[in-house]
Structure 1
Amino acid sequence: MGANRLCEGRVVVVTGAGRGLGRAHALAYAAEGARVVVNDLGVGLDGTPGPDSPAARVVQEIRAGGGDAVAHGGDIATTAGAASLVRTALDTYGRLDTLVNNAGFLRDRMLVNLDEDDWDAVLRVHLKGHFLPLRHAAAHWRAETKAGRTPTARVVNTSSGAGLLGSLGQGNYSAAKAGILGLTLVAAAELARYGVQVNAIAPAARTRMTEATFAETMTAPETGFDAMAPENVSPLVVWLGSAASEGVTGRVFETEAGRITVMEGWHPGPTQDRGARRTPEEAGETVRKLLPQARTPGPVYGAG
């Protein structure tokens, strides 16, 4: 517990940090010396407000362990809430070094039963809730760079296996999490000039969102290694959010239990170029010839 801790002196914002993965990340950053802004709106699984303040409880945990943290209860899927999130870090600690976008919830429905409100709500919290904090943090880091103080800034976004492969009954969630991957790649390219590295994780862990949907695989064992504990994911998130991750940006990592996988995105596969327009029948013949040469996609979650 000294100056050699990985995030000593850094200021870290974690959204959705009142429970589950976000709480584990906040505690892990604090253990490595970071001062933490703990954001949580305190809502239920369906996005409606809850009666308590989970962010305040996590702040108390961090302070009880000798760390430094402050709670933020704003809605980060609004411009005002995202701006106040960044302002809380700057007003309280005078700096911002790392943003961990983690907040989210579920409204699962099969597509034929998925209404517009459920679609909009999930896209709003997951995708817009990533964009707006990133937008306001990036504006601060750009200003710092222009003032001659280029930061060692880090962003860790949270996608999902549903964003990589799709998941039955989660069309809204899968679309939002896939969008986060695209946002990550663009942000990594655009913000590099300002000293910002942007990566994404696709975690699997026991949280309020997964313990009911995947009850059999998420149950904690009575003894031995708890593979689905959210704390297993946090070490990678802490490292990505530290100065030690220098040079790692625009990457996506699957992580669960003791496994870390570097994901490889879309790459050109089998190709045929005839140098002329095809008829629809000829296009179909070409596709039929190319598909057997291509890698088979991974199965959609829940498809058996």
Structure 2
Amino acid sequence: MRPEAPAPRAVLACGEVRTCLLPTGQALDSRAAAQLLRLRADERVLVSERPNVYGRSPDTLTGVDCPLPSSNGARVRAVGTVAARAALTEGRVLQTSASFRVPATGPDHRRPWGHYLVRPGVVEPFGKLPRDAVAQGLLDGGGRGELDVGLIAGGLLTRLLRHPLLDHRPPLRSRPTRLRWVALPTRHGEGPSIERFTVEEDELRTVRLRVPEGTRGAEVAGLCEDLALHDWLLTTVVHILDGIRLGPGTPRARPRPGPSGDRPAVVTALRPAVDHLLHLWMPRARVSAELAPLWAALEEQPGFTRQWQVLVQRIRDQLTLHAIPSAHREVEPTP
């Protein structure tokens, strides 16, 4: 591949992250994770074990030539490439992400594809970019025939879920989530900020960011992947707790073969969360130092870690509560 050429200064970045539980009975080890994430033969998968086990694929590029969505109906044709990648956390949570950057202006005619290929992850508009209208259009999702990064992220996720390594026997039920984001430059003298974080519906979240001029697109994508991972963990544990009756009067589960056959239903429902999810909470583990302060805003409102700690404590309290009667039943009074 030809070396990357200097790209025009970006005034808008956009992306979407898909997050789901890896559909396999056991978490993948580092070697299997590298097999899953090997999207290209010419680049290695990045794998690290500190502070947790994490693998990330090399980027793949998708060429696009279509209108950009806009909230005011403006028709802005754009040409370039969208960068996509995949990540696996602790061999258990799979994410795919697609993103691109857009400069303020572009040529008034299409250039040869070689021009765009040496500017990976950059989409150039024809003429001047109506930045704010396009930013809102991207958050809204656009219409038919317009650029949709979610389709690219979703296509990569579908490809990975067909990998022969996966046995499609997940240890718990969960729903995938989508996080759609846009990032604009900060105003003069201001630091990075989250202007809006919205839970649009059960599976969709939208985020509008301000980041310092010159921030690399990969760093913004990494922040949004981290946010999407922890939002998915919160959402999944909330659904687990909402799906069962808590308290000492919970009906017992039907007997199952093996030593866990007489375990109360609540313990059966909560154990997968303990085994597979609770140890994954680690905000900012791979967020750049420049963008890490944005997590402080999320800790204030809506209070991600505070909510997580409350959920974890509820799970532990319920497991403790249901362990006490079991111990009493096992001890017979002395005649």
TM-score of the superposed pair, with normalisation by structure 2: 0.28
More strand by share: 2
TM-score of the superposed pair, with normalisation by structure 1: 0.30
